[in-house]
A and B are shown apart, each in its own frame.
Chain A
Amino acid sequence: MVDPLIRIDGLTIDFDTGRSSIRALHELDLEIKKGEAIGIVGESGSGKSITWLGALGLLGSRAHVSGSVRLDGREILGLGEREMAAIRGKRIAMIFQDPTSSLNPVHRIGRQLVESLVIHRGMSERSAMAEARRLLERVQIAAPSQRLSEYPHELSGGMNQRVMIAMALAGEPDLLIADEPTTALDVTIQAQILEVLKEMRRETGMGLVIISHDLGIVAELADRVMVMYAGRPVEVSPVDRIFDAPRHPYTRGLLAALPEIDGTLERLVAIPGQVPEPHALPPGCPFAPRCAEAKAEICNAAIPAMRTVGTDHAAACEMIHGSTTARQRVLAVA
């Protein structure tokens, strides 16, 4: 079997709040193959962003990160700052929601692009400038030469996000982590950025982690989807199965709660209650208090483990396994 590009085992993140410590991520396991696009879906506080900030050593000293993150079989958790810096931007690049706060407002676009080309690709200033121009062309920015000499405030939000993508591509990464890359943008601009991301994947074959609260965006870009809830993955499956045959009650709840642009207009089925705070998680399954299918004696007893429910499809819900065994029994009788 081929080594996955990234293999995460038991990744756990605790935050030191002075008096106590709060667990924001609980033992996450995930593999990403070379060139694969994986979508991470979840509400605020589900741990979808923190997973990657933790894995890349971007969380600062108050976070305690444990477990294992292997890139091409090599452990990267706990590497020194110098070694990490060689991985970030070069092997794994990351773009965030708000492009204007990721760009330096006092430097021209060109200088910022050249900087990352000099660092990651060891280019001379001169060839880096030519490459920067080519990168802007690739993310479909009109008049790239002119843009190189402009400042971020002179560009629109959508254009700045293209610059961020261009900068991420500068290191020719194997994996691009895009954390809510279009949330701050308008719908028609979002459509442009999604097309650029698809195009870049087709061209370079790089892997993609797309983090979003919008299931529609994930549906469009990802090959595989991981749904997270309260710091844990609850379901992982190929993209079609998540939408056509979701198994976890939370995934099904999310899909029923989403308003749609077409189809019959029905009353939305809201999930009652709210996401639990990380310091006040319920015993057992974190979704149980909001779950219509939960049975106290089963769901409150223990935290459900991820288990296979189909081909490449896993979910963390005791009730699924309960009902499968029941169905198997019925089938056996028939």
Chain B
Amino acid sequence: MTSAPLISARDLRRTYNVKTAGGWFSPTAELKAVDGVSFEIRAGETLGLVGESGCGKSTTAKLVLGLIPATSGSVVFEGKPVTADRKRAWREQRRRMQMVYQDPLGALDRRLPVGVQAMEPLDIFNEGTKAERRDRMLSFFDAVGLPRTSVDRYPHELSGGQRQRVVLARALMHRPSLLVCDEPISALDVSIQAQVINLLKDLQAQLGVAYLFISHDLKVVRHVSHRVAVMYLGRIVESGRPEDIMRAPAHPYSQALISAVPSARARGKGRIVLDGDPPSPVDVPNGCAFHPRCPLATDRCRKDTPELRPFDAERLVACHRAGMRIASLDGAAA
């Protein structure tokens, strides 16, 4: 922990005002998409952000990149604050922090050859001569494992895996120090997913790029991350090393989430099945947001909101009952 982190987020909050049901003149309610999230990522490291839909992972990604302004809190990237004002300083920063989305077809223009699109970031900042830009583009096509002949192809002529490689090449064109990946492999077929996971790890080893890796897939997150943060209803409920969290999750929600992952190798394992659905972020329960679904909840959980506190040397947990185990369906501790 000697060197300064590449990026640090402090107490990020983002709320939206939404209309409650009942017509035009109904009162508005506050939707807390992200409710006090803090984390750091060091250079060349991967932080995996996991959670279910609506937990605020994608909003966190947008806040980190300054794509949307935060309601409160701050992000510092390479020593400078990230604003969302889209001015010159922000644009300079954005060369160093890039984004990859889930659907590569949606991120590419169907009417342009992929080589032209991959070169666009360099064209926009007018870097080097045209020949130099083309050379850099070709070298990144090599790096992501695309044949050089594919530069003149259109997106629909490539497979899903190849398209995601194009998107990656384009994102890396400015040699960023941070790549935010929002579900980068969820749209790919199983046999292609492994190719892209391996590629992401190779690129990190080669280029020293850090990843904020957002996914609902715990198995994938375990494979790519140095550290993991589990989110529930806009808050981080547990963070630490993936091996610690996957082997012995301390937060009851992490326990349920991990036990719910179907596994081909551990068939017939006990599983924790939670009752109900996650509550709406408009109507977050008092106290611990997880308490209505938590089998371990006590009176205190209904009143006091637990803070994220050190659980052991490597782990932070936000739970009054941290470390207690939920019994799984077959009776054994999961």
Give chain A's interface residues, CB within 8 Å of chain B.
43-44, 142, 156, 158-159, 186-192, 194-195, 213-220, 239-240, 243, 253-255, 257-263, 265, 267-272, 274-275
Contacts and interface: CB of A to CB of B under 8 A. Distances in A.
Contacts of B246: 261-262
Contacts of A253: 191
18 contacts: A43-B191, A156-B277, A187-B52, A188-B274, A190-B260, A191-B256, A191-B272, A253-B191, A255-B264, A257-B193, A259-B219, A260-B265, A262-B265, A265-B222, A265-B223, A270-B198, A274-B161, A274-B192
A187 B52 CA distance: 7
A43 B258 contact: no
Nearest to B201: A267
A213 B190 contact: yes
B194 interface: yes
A268 B263 contact: no
A257 B264 CA distance: 12
B50 to A, nearest CB: 9
A156 B220 CA distance: 26
Contacts of B256: 188, 191
B190 A258 contact: yes
Most chain B CB within a 10 A radius of its CB, from A188, A220, A240: A188
B260 to A, nearest CB: 4
Contacts of B161: 274
B264 A219 contact: yes
B191 to A, nearest CB: 4
B277 A158 contact: yes
B106 interface: no
Interface residues of B, number: 46
B329 interface: yes
A268 B191 contact: no
Contact of B197 (A158, A259, A271): A259
A156 B280 CA distance: 10
A269 B197 CA distance: 10
B229 interface: no
A268 B196 CA distance: 10
A191 B190 contact: no
A188 B260 contact: yes
Contacts of B193: 257, 259
B262 A220 contact: yes
Nearest to A186: B52
A139 to B, nearest CB: 14
Interface of B: 52-53, 159, 161-162, 189-195, 197-198, 201, 216-220, 222-223, 243, 246-247, 256-268, 271-274, 276-278, 329
Contacts, number: 132
Nearest to A182: B262
Given A195-B329, A274-B161, A257 B191 contact: yes
Nearest to A272: B195
B194 A271 contact: yes
Contacts of B258: 261
Contacts of A43: 189-191
Contacts of B223: 259, 265, 268
Contact of A275 (B191, B195, B217, B259): B191
What are the nearest 7 A-B pairs in CB distance? A216-B262, A257-B194, A191-B260, A186-B52, A270-B194, A259-B219, A268-B194
Given A243-B267, A259-B220, A195 B273 contact: yes
A260 B219 contact: yes
Contacts of A142: 276
Nearest to B268: A220
Nearest to B50: A187
B271 A243 contact: no
Nearest to A196: B273
A269 B222 CA distance: 16
A66 B84 CA distance: 59
Contacts of A272: 195
Contacts of A265: 222-223, 243
B219 A261 contact: yes
Contacts of A270: 191-192, 194-195, 197-198
A194 B216 contact: no
Contacts of B198: 267-268, 270
B261 A254 contact: no
Given A156-B277, A188-B260, A270-B191, A262 B267 contact: no
A257 B192 CA distance: 9
Nearest to A277: B159
Most chain A CB within a 10 A radius of its CB, from B193, B218, B258: B193
A216 B260 contact: no
Contact of A216 (B191, B257, B261): B261
Contact of A189 (B162, B191, B218, B277): B277
Nearest to A275: B189
Contact of A213 (B53, B189, B201, B263): B189
Contact of A243 (B189, B264, B272): B264
B191 A271 contact: yes
Contacts of A243: 264-265, 267
